[in-house]
Amino acid sequence: MKALLATFAFLLLATASFCQELAEIPLPPNGDAEKAEVSQWIGLVRISIAYHSPRVHRPADNDRTGHIWGELVKYGFFDEGFGPSKATPWRAGANESTTITVSHDVKVEGKDLKAGTYGLLLEVAASGPWTWIFSSQSAGWGSFQYEAKYDVLRAAVTPQDAPSTEFLTYGFDERQPASAVAFLQWEKKRIPFKIEVPNVNELYVEQIRKNLLSWPGFNYQNWQSAAQFCADNKINLDQALTWADKAIKEPFRGAMGRTEEADKLMETAMALPGTDAVDVYRYGMQVLGEKRNTVAMKIFEANRKQHPAEKFWTSLGLARGYTALGDKGKAIANWEMVLANAPENLAGNKPRWQAALNKLKESN
């Protein structure tokens, strides 16, 4: 019996420090360092940090303030005394490896980081900057198996003094539409790193484009909002006019009561830098076909103002608009501009345009 008890005691001592990673049953975390996770969105990009959170007082009557940095957490790369690695950075938490997951490509302290999950480690220094390390090896227990060859990004930052924090905590602040600052805060230190999404609006457009192909595309207001987003942010300008047009016509063709709203939207879309003269002409012709001659004329005039060097499509619109309004003199002048500037691929239409011009001249 004594031999059995001795064997049992030996096994307890030998496995106490590593019971969690070997156990298939739930056990309290080592050192009561509870598991935690924090997430932050930057636009459509999700960033999550998973870690175990040690405390300054352990046990409760043991105040380790002033003994964390450089003592409990050693400076530089050090030998943990366990595992194959003889030079490891700090695991930036307790127990299992701290990990960070980014859903899309981002920049960390100005350096590119691909979407994925990474081990997050920290080299602490007695003086000068501290260095965040992102490793492609995200699984494991701490940094016992750390190898520098798996580093995908290193970012040197300046540690900051901070209010006393009992539990090691990760968080995000300085949140902006395209960036946020992640930080580790513990004892009286705060160690930040900035995360940026330079293409945040492009990601919105990409997702909008996908969504409009499914159920959201059956609501005209989503097409309208998509066009307005592009106009406000001066992005995806080649499609903004198309989306604005769909907001008016599709999938609710002939919808009533939205004429004024649609005109305002199209007025914004037509004024976008990069909008082609031919697209504005086509929209003007659509309005002309609705017998809204005065509105169509404003569109054709705006097209000429926005594209003063373009002589064909702007003239064609003005010619048709003035013809509809009965202003023969201006219509004739613009039909002559059309014939003088017609591109070769549309030369087959010249007889028809000449006939329209001749009809106006004969009626004078």
- Residues 189, 269, single domain; the answer is no
Residue 9 lies in a domain: no
What are the C-alpha distances in Å from 57 to residues 31, 50, 171, 183? 11, 22, 21, 21
pLDDT tens-digit readout, 42-64 = 999 999 999 999 999 998 899 99
Give the number of domains in the chain. Answer: 2
Residue 291 lies in a domain: yes
Q: For residues 356 and 338, what is the distance between their CA atoms, to the nearest angstrom?
A: 11
pLDDT at 153: 98
Rounded CA separation 127/21 (Å): 35
Q: Among 172, 196, 220, identify where a domain stops.
A: 196
Residue 8, domain member (yes or no): no
Domain termination residue (choose one: 159, 181, 196) = 196
pLDDT over 70 for what percent of the chain?
86
Q: Which residue has the higher pLDDT, 265 or 344?
A: 344
Of the chain, the percentage scoring pLDDT greater than 90 comes to 54
CA–CA gap between residue 187 and residue 191 (Å, rounded): 11
| Within a domain: 10 | no
For residues 217-226, one letter each, b for 16 or more C-beta atoms within 10 angstroms of the residue's C-beta and e for the rest, the string is: beebebbbbb
Residues 238 and 155 reside in one and the same domain: no
Query: Is residue 245 domain-shared with residue 357, that is, in the same domain?
Result: yes
> pLDDT band for position 3 (50/70/90)?
low
Query: Could you report the per-residue pLDDT of 54-94, keeping only the tens digit for each?
Result: 999 998 899 999 999 999 999 999 887 777 778 899 999 99
Same domain, 127 and 229: no
Q: Are residues 225 and 327 in the same domain?
A: yes
pLDDT score recorded for residue 181: 98
Q: Which of 168, 140, 170 is nearest to 20 (CA)?
A: 140
Q: Is residue 207 located within the same domain as residue 281?
A: yes
162 and 264 share one domain: no
In-domain check, residue 277 = yes
- The total of other beta-carbon atoms located within 10 Å of residue 230's CB is 25
276 or 309, higher pLDDT = 309
Same domain, 126 and 220: no
Are 165 and 304 in the same domain?
no
Q: What CATH number corresponds to the domain at position 312?
A: 1.25.40.10
Is residue 254 within 8 A of residue 271, CB to CB? The reply is no
3 part of a folded domain: no
Tell me: do 82 and 162 sit in the same domain: yes
**184 and 204, same domain (yes or no):** no
Range of 344's domain? 200-362
Report yes or no: 342 and 313 within 8 Å, Cβ to Cβ. Answer: no
Q: Is residue 4 part of a domain?
A: no
Residue 122 lies inside a defined structural domain of this protein? yes
Tell whether 192 and 206 lie within a shared domain: no
Return the closest-CA partner of residue 302 out of 286, 290, 313, 289: 313
- The residues, any chain, with a CB within 8 Å of residue 322's CB and separated by 6 or more, are 297, 328, 330, 331, 334
The pLDDT of residue 14 is 42
pLDDT confidence of residue 238 = 76
Residue finishing a domain among 196, 220, 240: 196
Query: What's the CA gap between 254 and 202, in Å, rounded?
Result: 32
Top pLDDT among 188 and 145 is at: 188
